[in-house]
């Protein structure tokens, strides 16, 4: 009964605010800000929340904020949106194109932010009407792309007292109106590796008298990924992919040094923990075979996001209710990294994929300057987030308490 009322209230809320939310997203899209520099974005969110009678608490750096909706002794459910943009040029030809050269919301965080804002405004109405059986904590997290913003939110009490946490991420391969869900790992671990090689250098006519550094570096580039594929369980999908390589300056001179940089992605936590030592030993054995020195800098990124089964059921149930039957669809595990993983090491929760593709339309890709969405996804995000939060609150609220707030 309450579920049907909720849908009617969501419809009414969105009829009134959807256009405004789309305008809010476009404004963010035009003014993207990089990780830990999201000052304007934070202010814009804070203004809207404050105007709705809420009391947002901006994080000490001035980027990102936490805002509770509702109060009392009930359970607490957190909803998280990341707010940062990427250092990429916006290549779209649209009225809301980025006005900041080299910075663009190419990962859809403007969409997550706007959907969470809409959810917060809707839930504030519910709370004012005495219909919120607990507390919903809105986490507007800075610096997901760095990553590290999740740790910043956690360091400032973002998930203390939280019973469950949820997040959505745009998925341009899923149609708008659908929600991609998956239990267990849904993203991958993602680390960075930098390899620096050095040798005596010399004339290219005499590689046998020096050490052929470019050749050795090329061996490292191809041998390391190949060896990993034989030394690690293929089910872990550990993969090393190089993104940058540089050595030398002249056709006839063997250089003294070179560098290669890449990322390591992994679906399995055990293989992730073993990766740095294994890569280091492989690197040393290839380098020594060619008489060069090799040093490795390994930077840990994020662990995989491992979705809690009950939380995934809540998301699926909410999608079926708020977006329609058949709207919850299975989604594959991605090799992308996502710092939402840090929250899930402390609190059960789940991340779902918010469909952003116009059915039959173009399939964009995230982290590309051409990325864009079907803006109906914003309202869909509000529907799913609000319904999920209420579902989670209802499920952990004793029945007599529900009957008093829902009566
Ligand atoms: Zn991203
Ligand atoms: Zn993202």
Mean pLDDT of the chain: 94
**What pLDDT band is residue 397 in, cutting at 50, 70 and 90?**
low
Cα distance between the two ends of the chain: 10
Using alpha carbons, select from 381, 389, 350 the residue that is nearest to residue 131.
Answer: 389
Reported confidence tier of residue 270, pLDDT bands at 50, 70, 90:
confident
Mean pLDDT of 186-207: 94
Higher pLDDT among residues 78 and 146, named by residue:
78
Q: What's the rounded mean pLDDT across residues 214-239?
A: 94
255 Cα to the center of ligand 1, angstroms:
36
Q: Are 339 and 149 in contact (CB under 8 A)?
A: yes
Between the CA of 111 and the centroid of ligand 1 the distance, in Å, is: 12
Q: How much is the pLDDT for 60?
A: 97
Q: Say which ligand is closest to the CA of 146.
A: 1
Nearest ligand, CA 354:
2
Token output for 265: 């992605």
Q: What separation in Å is there between the alpha carbon of 169 and the centre of ligand 2?
A: 6
Q: CA 83, CA 85: separation in Å to the nearest integer?
A: 7
- Checking if the pLDDT of 407 tops 70, the result is no
Question: How far, in Å, is the centroid of ligand 1 from the Cα of 86?
Answer: 7
Distances (CA, A) of 288 to 197, 342, 375: 11, 38, 55
- In this prediction, residue 401 has a pLDDT band, given cuts at 50, 70 and 90, of very low
On the question of pLDDT at 405 being above 50, the answer is no
pLDDT at 395: 83
pTM of the model: 0.84
Ion ligand 2, residue ranges at CB < 5 A: 107
Q: pLDDT digits over 326-360, tens only?
A: 999 999 999 888 999 999 999 999 999 999 999 99
């Amino acid at each position: 009964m309450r579920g049907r009322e909720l849908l009617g209230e969501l419809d009414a809320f969105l009829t009134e605010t959807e256009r405004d939310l789309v305008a809010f997203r476009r404004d963010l899209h035009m003014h993207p800000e990089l990780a830990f520099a999201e000052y304007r974005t934070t202010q814009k969110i804070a203004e809207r929340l404050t105007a709705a009678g809420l009391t947002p608490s901006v994080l000490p750096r001035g980027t990102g904020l936490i805002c509770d909706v509702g109060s009392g002794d009930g359970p607490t459910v957190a909803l998280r949106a990341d707010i940062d943009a990427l250092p990429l040029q916006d290549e779209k030809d649209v009225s809301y194109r980025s006005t900041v050269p080299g910075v663009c919301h190419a990962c859809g965080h403007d969409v997550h932010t706007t959907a969470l804002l809409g959810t917060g405004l809707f839930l504030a109405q519910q709370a004012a009407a005495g219909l919120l059986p607990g507390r919903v904590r809105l986490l507007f997290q800075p610096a997901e792309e760095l990553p590290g913003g999740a740790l910043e939110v956690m360091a400032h009490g973002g998930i203390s007292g939280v019973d469950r946490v949820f997040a959505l991420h745009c998925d341009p391969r899923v149609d708008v109106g659908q929600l991609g869900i998956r239990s267990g790992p849904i993203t991958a671990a993602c680390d960075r590796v930098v390899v620096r090689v050095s040798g005596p250098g010399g004339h290219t006519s005499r590689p046998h008298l020096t050490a052929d550094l470019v050749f050795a570096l090329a061996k490292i580039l191809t041998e390391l990924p190949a060896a990993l594929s034989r030394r690690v369980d293929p089910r872990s999908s550990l993969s090393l992919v190089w993104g940058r390589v540089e050595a030398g300056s002249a056709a006839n001179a063997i250089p003294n040094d070179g560098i290669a940089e890449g990322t390591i992605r992994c679906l399995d936590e055990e293989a992730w923990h073993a990766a740095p030592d294994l890569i280091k030993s492989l690197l040393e054995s290839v380098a020594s075979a060619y008489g060069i020195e090799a040093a490795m800098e390994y930077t840990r990124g994020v662990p995989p996001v491992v979705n809690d089964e009950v939380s995934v059921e809540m998301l699926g149930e909410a999608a079926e209710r708020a977006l329609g039957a058949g709207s919850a669809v299975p989604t594959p595990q991605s090799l992308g990294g996502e710092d939402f993983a840090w929250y899930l090491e402390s609190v059960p929760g789940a991340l779902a994929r918010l469909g952003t593709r116009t059915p039959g339309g173009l399939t964009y890709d995230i982290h590309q300057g051409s990325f864009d969405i079907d803006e109906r996804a914003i309202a869909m995000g509000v529907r799913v987030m609000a319904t999920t939060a209420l579902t989670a609150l209802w499920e952990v609220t004793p029945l007599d308490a529900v009957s008093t707030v829902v009566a």
